[in-house]
Structure 1
Amino acid sequence: MSDPFVVVGADAAGLSAASKFRREAPDRDVVVFEKGRWISFAYCGMPYFIEGRVERMSDLLSLSPSEVSERGIDLRRGHEVVAVDPDREEVAVETTDGDTFTQPYSTLLVATGGRATTGPFDVLGVDGAFTLHDMDAAAAIDAYIAEPDEYDPDRADVSAVDRERVDHNAARRAPETAAIVGGGYVGVEMAEALRGRGLDVHLFQRSGHLLPPFGETVGDRVEAELEATGVTVHTGTPVDELVAADDRIEAVAFGEERLPVDLAVVGVGIRPNVELLDGTGVETGPADAILTDEHGRTSLPDVYAAGDCATAIHAVTGEAAWSPLGLTANRAGRAIGATVAGTPTPVGEIVGTAVVNAFDMECGRVGLLDEEAAIEAGFDPVRETVTAGSRSGYYPGAAETDVTLVADRDSGRLIGGSIVGADRAAVRINTLATALESGMTAAEFERLDLAYAPPFSPVWDPLLVAAKVLNGALDEWSS
């Protein structure tokens, strides 16, 4: 193999890089190692598969192995890269058959993603206890929820699925009561999914409100929405223990109480997979993710990193940040593929733009919302929250929309914001994301020429209303 570009990880970042590289440098070799069997799947779609909105697991796949091969990419599944030797420019590989070998590289991309953390909770070997960060887990949960005589095995219609695990869970007695530990993205989306499957759902959150990165206003609206749809929400309630009997989940214990359950999903966070670079001296950043520059380069020569295992530069702070989200991974992978092929391409900055849905409630967030984080980044934050209509008041479908904007007191620069409402609230966050990446002030934002028509927005869009109020607060301070 001549001048090989070696990629570790065959999901969003890895295959985006390999595909772009192959198009830009057709005469060079590219090999992609993937330790498992799954490639190029939509992680964010898994709760909707479990709920049943997505009928087949194959609907969540972006590329099949055969499609990857047709692109001229040497994809090797069941090959785990266990070590990197940057001096010799080679990686050590172990196969599922027990073989080991080394692979030289001219350029290496580490795109190993992240994995679910379980905190103090051990879910291994316990029927009915799950994390959700891979397709096999989604298939197992879907099978476990169904009555044994009603489960449709064709829903898990991908050859990569762990069929033994699916069959084991499909044979279990269907659950009636579920506990979700963690009120973040996974917790909120799974609460809706499990409620949609008819379960009695209890959602536990350690802090005082759900979705902490979105702020208290969003968390309170989401909690009310979940409660209204039959989910019991326990905020300010850390779970102490998952209680099992006969290797099946039996209850969750919290404080002096104990809630009988027959399904538990732990969603307390993820961590980057960076262990294969142990001993290399690579620099790391927030969350111990691999530190990268504007082109995705690491501190090691000819080694790049992208996706959930790597940092990116935050457009508001100018510092390294960790944002394990799909667009960040895909965009960085594509840029690195172009760079390695000979066209230097920035991976792009981030502002932490994210959206989540909770039944009829839509939520979005961007930038710095947390006051301590803003102060630590060198800002003096001023925050205002408004409630405004999503459409003209006389037009059917209008709904109350809460917008929070945060600006720096001295410069007036917008540094963060959130939005929540039942009528197309989430998509509005993209306007604010654009403003943050452009470095706009609150005053400049207020003067934006946003579209107006009664079915879509009032004359003053909720974002502009919030900007007016925030500008008033800034003017009052300056005077």
Structure 2
Amino acid sequence: MSETFVVIGGDAAGMSAASKAKRENPDLDIVVFEKGEWVSYAACGMPYYVKDEIEELEDLVQVTAEEFREERDIDLRTGHEVVGIDPEARTVRVEGDGETFDQPYDQLLIATGAHAIEPPFDGIDLDGVFTIHDMDHADAIQDYVTEAEPQTAAIVGGGYVGIEMAEALDERGLEVHMYEMLPHVLQPFGESVATVVEDHLREQDIHLHLDTAVQGFTGDGAVDGVALEAETVPADIVVVGVGVAPNTALAEDAGIEVGETGAIATDAYGRTNFDRIYAAGDCAEAHNVVTDAPDHVPLALTANRAGRAIGQTVTGTPTEVGGMAGTAIVKAFDIGAARTGLTDEEQARDAGFDPVSVEIQASSRAHYYPGAEELTVMLMADRESGRVIGASIVGREGVKRIDTVATALHGGMTVEDVENLDLAYAPPFSPVWDPVATAARVLSGKVD
């Protein structure tokens, strides 16, 4: 009699685990419950759908539900919500197709993802006020822009989603205002990156309201303004992008432990405190390779890697889900910004480091080669050990160099190690001394 692997959640972590487990053991019964209708989709592409760069919402789907069922032989049940977990009986309670039933499992993966945070703003339920965290949200925004023809937009939150949606709605012809309660946008990227991005946003006629707390939204049925402490600014559409929170209620109700980050606590293999129950993706903690502590940074690659590893583990090959460094990159009109590891000295000290950093400007290509652009690189290390602990990069091209630093973080490399890396050089791509290596060379004079 074959075993049953049950997966709760049909996006990155869940479907990666199901697919890998089926490849490793074709005889394994795999049942995936997804409460929505969309599975295996590229959430990061949604702003570009709103922007009209992606023609069809379905283009964001990696693998369709039918392909999972027919080609991969996975029992995928959309429109089915798991409402309870019984770890002792090894069953999950499911609601779907007008019935409630208990599904037994031998191994269980919780991949319930995260949800967009909705602050308790007055008027958040008005028509024209949106969050954007799933495909239905993106479709609703696209429809509203097309049908209601708003003229002014308010973006609440200056993170990844806010920056990308500002560009998308500007491209659609709207006047865009961005509200951020902190002094800078892109707070995890550091001040040096944020100021460059802010200057560029202003060049694109994005109205920035920094250090500005939103009080709520006004309107009679549909939104018509953003209420601030001293004034109300007109807005025909609002996108609230102030972050996400892990979906842990189902796990907590079953007695599954949640860590200090607020996400489900897991070990190196994605296992929870219950035997045969795993968690992965945006609902779960991950191991930060820089701080050597649990962290919650909901990113697509972390979810996919963890799901794939758990798919191997449940089929008999124990595989660690791997660590992460919080590496991220974002496009803001004509420039890019990227970060990895620790970019704030106070956070670095809290993590037990004695941080020292440098900020340099360098050319993205040989200075004489056409198209060369200035890059700003901030590199941070621990003063005593010389170990690299973080970086940020901003510029019009070449910001994907952050991957060099991310590799260094995973390898525990020192500033000297990075300075002496044999990095590729040709005038169309880089100066002789790559900007990351240059930053390391400058920083090497500041470490012990």
Per the shorter chain, which TM-score range?
Answer: over 0.9
Contact 1:362–1:420 under 8 Å retained in 2: yes
Aligned partner (choices 235, 241, 256) of residue 210 of structure 2: 235
State how 1:59-458 maps to structure 2 within 5 Å: 59-70=59-70, 71-95=72-96, 97-121=97-121, 125-146=125-146, 170=147, 173-245=148-220, 247-425=221-399, 427-458=400-431
Report the Cα offset of residue 10 of structure 1: 0.5
- Which amino acid in the other structure matches residue 240 of structure 2? V
CA deviations on 1:182-228 (whole Å, 9 max, x unpaired) are: 00000000000000101000011111111001011111111111110
State the number of aligned residues.
447
- Which amino acid in the other structure matches residue 308 of structure 1? D
Distance 2:129 2:318 in 1: 46
Distance 1:468 1:40 in 2: 43
Report the Cα offset of residue 65 of structure 1: 1.2
Contact 2:123–2:216 under 8 Å retained in 1: no
Aligned Cα root-mean-square deviation (Å): 1.2
TM-score between the two structures when normalised by the length of structure 2: 0.98
Contact 1:182–1:205 under 8 Å retained in 2: yes
Report the Cα offset of residue 255 of structure 1: 2.0
Aligned partner (choices 469, 474, 477) of residue 442 of structure 2: 469
Contact 1:272–1:287 under 8 Å retained in 2: no
- Which amino acid in the other structure matches residue 332 of structure 2? A
Distance 2:28 2:123 in 1: 44
Segment drifting more, 281-290 vs 64-73? 281-290
Report the Cα offset of residue 124 of structure 1: 5.9
CA deviations on 1:95-124 (whole Å, 9 max, x unpaired) are: 1x4311111110000000000001123666
Instruction: Give SS of 1:259's match.
Output: strand
Segment drifting more, 250-259 vs 120-129? 120-129
Corresponding residue number in structure 2 for 1:166: none
Distance 1:447 1:278 in 2: 48
Report the Cα offset of residue 262 of structure 1: 0.5
Instruction: Give SS of 1:287's match.
Output: coil
Report the Cα offset of residue 286 of structure 1: 4.0
Distance 1:312 1:180 in 2: 29
Percent identity over the alignment? 55
Instruction: Give SS of 1:382's match.
Output: strand
Distance 1:389 1:26 in 2: 52
CA gap 1:244/1:2 in 2 versus in 1, 3 angstroms:
farther
Segment drifting more, 1-10 vs 320-329? 1-10
1:4 aligns with 2:4: yes
Distance 2:170 2:260 in 1: 35
Instruction: Give SS of 1:284's match.
Output: coil
CA deviations on 1:394-423 (whole Å, 9 max, x unpaired) are: 111111100001101111100001000002
Distance 1:238 1:463 in 2: 36
Report the Cα offset of residue 2 of structure 1: 4.0
Contact 2:110–2:277 under 8 Å retained in 1: yes
- Which amino acid in the other structure matches residue 83 of structure 1? G
Distance 1:89 1:238 in 2: 47
Distance 1:411 1:393 in 2: 34
CA deviations on 1:326-372 (whole Å, 9 max, x unpaired) are: 00111110110011011111111100000000011111100011222
Contact 1:271–1:287 under 8 Å retained in 2: no
Unpaired stretches in structure 2, ≥5 consecutive residues: none
Distance 2:126 2:216 in 1: 13
Segment drifting more, 117-126 vs 192-201? 117-126
Distance 2:371 2:173 in 1: 28
Contact 1:397–1:423 under 8 Å retained in 2: no
Distance 1:13 1:123 in 2: 34
TM-score between the two structures when normalised by the length of structure 1: 0.92
Contact 1:385–1:466 under 8 Å retained in 2: yes
Contact 2:111–2:279 under 8 Å retained in 1: yes
Report the Cα offset of residue 75 of structure 1: 0.6
Report the Cα offset of residue 242 of structure 1: 1.4
Unpaired stretches in structure 1, ≥5 consecutive residues: 147-169
